[in-house]
Structures are given as C-alpha cells and as structure tokens.
Homo-oligomer: A and B are copies of this chain.
C-alpha cells in the first residue's frame, strides 16, 4: 500500500537549493548554523526569500548523513562558554560535494530554462 512516489520533475526543492549553498559557503569560510542562516537571509532578502532555521539545520544534517560534511564543536570567537557547531568537509566529502554541485548545476539550468519558457509562452 505504501508506494514510493515519483516526482513530476517540476522545480527543484528548497532543501537541495540550500545544500548547494551550504557546500559553497563551507568551501569559502567556516561558519556555524545560525550564522549561515544570517548570511543566506541577507543574500536572498532582495529576492523575497527568507529561509527558516529548521530548513538550514536539516540541510546540514542531510549533508552529514551523506558523508559530505562533519561537525566541529568549538567555542564561539571571543566567547568563553558559548559552544557552537562549525562544519568542514570529511575526508571523502570534498569529492562528493563536487559531484553534488555538478548535478545541481544541471538541475538549476533546467529550472532556469523552464521558467524562461514560461515567460516566453505566456508573455509574448
């Protein structure tokens, strides 16, 4: 009775989108959860997109389960006691991350094409 469902292939999901950004941000700079959320919200604010904290944490946890990232618990800079969770690539993780990014590039190109088609088909 419980079958797995095949997605119709509409636009990509928020979770995948966030995972892509989290990989790229990890390549650039080591940050922790809520700080990543801040950065993302600021980046997307002009685009009317405001992710919530749970989605970011779940995306990070997904990347851990896939063996791409691992946690590093550290004291927050300047704080004596506040411990926060930073992320870095695992041994195998960077290679896996590059593969994931290549897949997402294809997916983003597809979505862009779909949206451009809709603009063309409905507004020309």
Contacts and interface: CB of A to CB of B under 8 A. Distances in A.
Interface of A: 8-12, 14, 17, 20-21, 23-24, 43-44, 47-52, 55, 101, 104-105, 108-119, 121-123
| Chain A interface SS verdict (over half) | helix
A112 B112 contact: yes
A29 to B, nearest CB: 13
B114 A49 contact: yes
Contacts of A122: 20-21, 23-24, 101, 104-105
B123 A48 contact: no
B14 A8 contact: yes
Given A10-B49, A14-B8, A52-B8, A21 B118 contact: yes
